[in-house]
Amino acid sequence: MKIQVFVVYLLVTTGLPALAQTSETRLVSAPISDIRYDVTFDSASALERNIGVAMSFTTRGAGDVLLSLPAWTPGEYEIDNFARYVMDFAATNGSTPISWDKADQDTWRVRTTRPGTVRVSFNYRAMRLDNANAWSKPDFAFFNGTNLFLYPEGQGADFIGTVVVHTAPSWRIATGMTQNAANTFTASSYHDLVDMPFFVGRFDIDSAQAGGKVMRFASYPVGSVPNSGRRMVLDQLAKMVPPEAAVFGEIPWNS
């Protein structure tokens, strides 16, 4: 018997808990700035069910940069271990490799020796069909920011993050993040950065307006949800959103 898997997502945002360090000893990273994330998912990486991730940032001088993945995801009220899916971790300053080790199960300690641009990279195994994690097929990937986007321990969440997605020219990208260039998205804080999941690949997408804001409805595989079904969902959401906005005083996503 053939089992068909459907992945459907409404691209909106919700509130997040504060960043938290679960160990008794609080870790604090050396300061970093100019944070950028490059995410690669194309036909080659899809065959391996991997998502390539590179994080680049600027350091002020020598020191230990402590980079962590959260153990939580927005809307999934449980503790997880996303770091176990990280493979092939590496760090460089220019063309020079930088030594690193693990400070705890989800924190990497990168030992920078001079000011400049540092790049860390890894592959993330996208094999778990779970709204909190990352999942991929030969023509599609779904992931959350908490799976891929490292943050500097102890430096707060109020930093601007830029995400650049590298994918096949004919594939689509959908996310709630603000797009400011081709395949390039920004968020004003880490909380916003990880509160907006991504679809990358071949999928259907429709949109409708509610309360002056645009809602987008994405579904995979292509054709798995008929046009009538997608319109029905959007019509129902357009009726639901205004009363909810009246209660909460806002529609918590951008058009």
| pLDDT tens-digit map of 235-246 | 999 999 999 999
The whole-number pLDDT of residue 255 equals: 60
What is the percent of the chain with per-residue pLDDT over 70, rounded to a whole number? 90
Q: What is the dihedral of CA 16, 22, 28, 34, to 10 degrees?
A: -30
Q: What is the pLDDT of residue 8?
A: 54
pLDDT average, residue stretch 198-226: 94
Domain assignments of the chain as residue spans, ordered by start: 20-196
Please give the sequence-ordered ranges of beta strands (E in DSSP) within the chain, or none if there are none: 7-10, 32-40, 50-59, 63-68, 86-93, 96-97, 100-104, 107-112, 116-125, 135-137, 140-143, 151-152, 161-166, 172-175, 178-181, 184-187, 198-201, 204-210, 213-220
pLDDT given for residue 252 in this prediction: 84
> Do β-strands 204-210 and 213-220 pair in parallel, antiparallel, or remain unpaired?
antiparallel
Length of the chain: 255
Q: What is the pLDDT of residue 7?
A: 55
Phi, psi of 15 (to 5 degrees): -75, 160
As a whole number, mean pLDDT of residues 85-95 equals 96
Domain at 20-196, CATH class: mainly beta
The pLDDT of residue 3:
38
pLDDT average, residue stretch 139-166: 97
- The answer, yes or no, to whether residue 14 has pLDDT greater than 50, is no
pLDDT confidence bin for 5, thresholds 50/70/90: very low
Q: What is the pTM of this model?
A: 0.88
Amino acid at 7: V
